Amino acid sequence: MNNLLEGKIAIVTGGNGGIGLGIAEGFANEGAKVIVASRNKEKNKVAIEKIKKISKDSESFELDVNNQESINKLVDFTLEKYGNIDILVNNAGISRRSDEPHLLSRGDWNDVIDTNLNSIHHMTSAIFPHLKKNKSGKIINIGSMMSIFGNANSAAYAASKGGVVQYTKSCAIAWAKYNIQINAILPGWIVTDMTNEFKKVNPKRYATIAGRTPAERWGQPKDMAGTAIFLSSEFSDFVNGVSIPVDGGYSVM
């Protein structure tokens, strides 16, 4: 059987670590050429060296998802190098915590909403004309368990990830006529640099989460790859506007 994404061109924002890198490596293993697009140049370099061992034609790009000029340059770079864009994964995200919602500063609130939600609209809008022209395309937005649940300590993060789900549905309705499918993945509790800090701060809560999860463990970034590959392949051509929890069963408890 051929690789599911053979010859496809995929952009993964925030693809130099954690969930983004897990998805990028999964894409590469299925034959895609991957552009790891993230702000940290050094992390990009390390990530793309790993991916090039699988898919040698892959590249990295220094991207600021909150800067429209940077987004436009990424689109131009991808089209100049590969002549096409097939898949976009909107994965870049941040979190800011406070003891209660009202204690989160205006600056922190805006940073989270800009990075986690507004950037998805700007990235998607920049790439959409090329998918429309091709009458084909796959977009995957990365939400969170906080798309389903609230969180007293991460109000902006929860609000942004809830918005991701509704934005995904809206685009799916609008663009089905162009044969573009746009879906969301809602990761559960995944071991990343961001959650490693949580483990240090609240080890008891960290252990409790694993205990509540039917799979009895935290997820790994590679656990996201299978769903992302499915949503980027021809096998999901009739799947549109859905949000799929990938959480070891946490959300059904």
* Residue 59 to residue 51: CA distance in whole angstroms: 9
- The helix-helix angle for 18-29 and 225-232 (nearest 10°) equals 50
Structural domain tally of the chain?
A: 1
Asked if the structure places residue 46 within a domain, the reply is yes
Whether 200 maps to a domain, the answer reads no
Structure tokens, 168: 């995904």
When pLDDT is averaged across residues 128-140 and rounded to a whole number, the result is 98
CATH number at residue 112: 3.40.50.720
| Exposure letters 117-138 (e unless 16+ CB within 10 A, then b) | bbbbebbbebbbebbeeeeebb
Q: Which residues are catalytic?
A: 157
> 204: which 2 tokens?
């008891």
Residue 1 pLDDT more than 70? no
Question: Is 104 within the bounds of a domain?
Answer: yes
233 part of a folded domain:
yes
Q: What is the pTM of this model?
A: 0.96
CA distance 195 to 203: 11
Give which of 37, 42, 4 is closest to 21, Cα–Cα: 37
**Inside any domain, residue 215:** no
pLDDT digits (tens, 9 = 90+) for 76-120: 999 999 999 999 999 999 999 899 999 999 999 999 999 999 999
Q: What is the pLDDT of residues 192-232, one digit of tens each?
A: 877 877 778 788 888 899 899 999 999 999 999 999 999 99
Residue 201 lies in a domain: no
CA atoms within 13 A on the CB side of 242: 12
Q: Tell me the residue range of the domain where 237 lies.
A: 9-192+221-245
What's the residue count for the chain? 253
Under DSSP, the state recorded for 145 is G
In a domain, 199, yes or no: no
Q: Let me know if residue 40 belongs to a domain.
A: yes
